[in-house]
Amino acid sequence: MIPVFRLAAKSLASRRVTVLLTVFAISVSVSLLLGVERLRTEARASFSNTVSGTDLIVGARSGSVPLLLYSVFRIGNATNNISWRSYQDIAANPDVAWTIPVSLGDSHRGFRVLGTNTDYFRHFRYARTRTLEFAAGKPFDDVFDAVLGAQVASALGYNVGHSIVIDHGVGSVGFASHKDKPFRVSGILKRTGTPVDQTVHVSLAGIEAIHIDWRSGRPIPGLSIDAERVRRMNLQPEAITAFFVGLKSRFDTFEMQRRVNTYADEPMLAILPGVALHELWSLMGTAESALSIITIFIVMAGLIGMVTMLMSSLNERRREMAILRSVGARPHHVFSLFVLEAAFVSVLGAVLGVILLYAGMITVLPVIESRYGLFIPINPLSINEWMYLGAVVAAGILAGIAPAIAAVRMSLADGMVVRS
């Protein structure tokens, strides 16, 4: 019996440089294929789990996707604010069970600052029914208290009691600093895997306090009001960025949406989070499809490289095939040898591709989480990903059939001829 497995291993070892390059090409294509699939599915799940239990999100009239992005994911900025009077009018509607006002526009060392009230900690839900929990400390109860998301606290090394300064504007470096009115960290939230982790939460009164001596985005010349004087002032906000609405009955959702969208005092927009998310993914569907097609072509390019390697070595291996035939190898042995080599290269490429995938995830995912607020867990391969791996290996084996047939067709006499 011809030891085909051993022969295949030795044959590949004798051409190790070419084989390793081919394996690496396949592994890169496999890791890219799995990475795109993982990013697509986990990002969609992460987006869907970010806000739950909210019936409507209300903001200034713009578009449903921009409103969703800046109010929930802290991406982009609002085109306008809505008045506090209009917010109170909607919140007082008998069909409304609760509301969460939010005010955006400031930052701290690149992390967004969100002004809200304590209803945020009572009513905000994520991952369907999960509530916000504190890892340390408590909600803010002073004008200059701040509650940090888990990522903010870990990235900046903050603990309860730490003093922080809020910057005016959004970015890694704010346009101006509110250093005359520092905040004290009163609590740190547990990790949620949502943009909450990258957010500094303060009270709406705190947002008003740091802007009490500002006008049009800059300090008023010659006016400076210290923190103690500010505490004694009326800090009710004049406007907010948006607010979340929970209704007593979901049957009233569309009626309430119509009331907000036709509100007479000022233009506002009410969106259903689930519908806006679906619209967002519809907009991204073309890009997803294009990226998937590109990765499939990259995998095909890797497999074509493997076929090229096997085909190009046929002339060099004519004498090898002839000797095998002369010592009793049957055509199916030669056929099996080439198919096994293709299978070895495909399996090694797939295994190395999985290793590259997880190495890349460990390196890249913290950056995605800190910059975009998307938490993508490092989980074992899903059923779909195993199916992709199986498809790649199967395609590699099928790709090895062509050079295997070509090798079988070489006659013994042809293989023994010395060619110049």
Q: Are residues 238 and 292 in the same domain?
A: no
Measured between alpha carbons, how far is 247 from 268 in angstroms, rounded to an integer? 18
- pLDDT computed for residue 311 by the predictor: 73
CA atoms within 13 A on the CB side of 49: 18
393 in a structural domain: yes
Q: Which of 271, 304, 322 is the last residue of a domain?
A: 271
Residue 143, pLDDT > 80, answer yes
Residue 95, pLDDT > 80, answer yes
Q: Are residues 109 and 132 in the same domain?
A: yes
Q: Are residues 323 and 260 in the same domain?
A: no
- What's the pLDDT tens digit per position in 98-114? 999 999 989 999 899 99
Q: Nearest Cα to 368, choosing from 43, 34, 28?
A: 43
Residue 339, pLDDT > 90, answer no
- What's the pLDDT tens digit per position in 252-265? 999 999 999 999 99
Q: Which of 217, 242, 271 is the last residue of a domain?
A: 271
Question: In a 10 Å sphere around its CB, with 0-12 CB exposed, 13-18 middle and 19+ buried, how is residue 178 labelled?
Answer: buried
φ and ψ at residue 148, rounded to 5 degrees: -100, 145
- pLDDT computed for residue 222 by the predictor: 67
- What's the pLDDT tens digit per position in 366-378? 777 666 656 677 8
With H, G, I as helix, E, B as strand and everything else as coil, classify residue 15.
Answer: coil
Question: Are the CB atoms for 303 and 395 separated by under 8 Å?
Answer: yes
- What's the pLDDT tens digit per position in 22-65? 888 888 888 888 888 887 777 777 777 788 889 999 999 988 99
The helix (run of H) or strand (run of E) holding residue 139 is none
Question: How many structural domains are present in the chain?
Answer: 2
Instruction: Note down the domain range covering 170.
Output: 56-271
Q: Are residues 292 and 346 in the same domain?
A: yes
* pLDDT band of 420, cuts 50, 70, 90: very low
Q: Are residues 411 and 390 in the same domain?
A: yes
CA angle 5, 9, 15 (to 5 degrees): 145
Residue 411, pLDDT > 50, answer no
How many CB atoms neighbour CB 390 within 10 A? 11
Q: Are residues 134 and 252 in the same domain?
A: yes
Measured between alpha carbons, how far is 68 from 75 in angstroms, rounded to an integer? 9
How many CB atoms neighbour CB 16 within 10 A? 10
Question: Are the CB atoms for 139 and 118 separated by under 8 Å?
Answer: yes
Measured between alpha carbons, how far is 166 from 405 in angstroms, rounded to an integer? 71
- Amino acid identity for residue 279 in this structure: E
Question: Are the CB atoms for 93 and 256 separated by under 8 Å?
Answer: yes
279 in a structural domain: no
Which segments of 124-235 does DSSP mark as H helices, in order? 150-156, 204-210, 227-231
Q: What would the DSSP string read from start to end of 276-340?
A: HHHHHHHHHHHHHHHHHHHHHHHHHHHHHHHHHHHHHTTGGGHHHHHHHHHTT--HHHHHHHHHH
- Residue 43 DSSP label: H
Question: Are the CB atoms for 168 and 215 separated by under 8 Å?
Answer: no
- pLDDT computed for residue 171 by the predictor: 61
- What's the pLDDT tens digit per position in 179-238? 888 999 999 999 988 889 999 999 999 999 988 877 766 677 767 777 788 888 889 999
CA atoms within 13 A on the CB side of 287: 8
Q: Are residues 208 and 298 in the same domain?
A: no
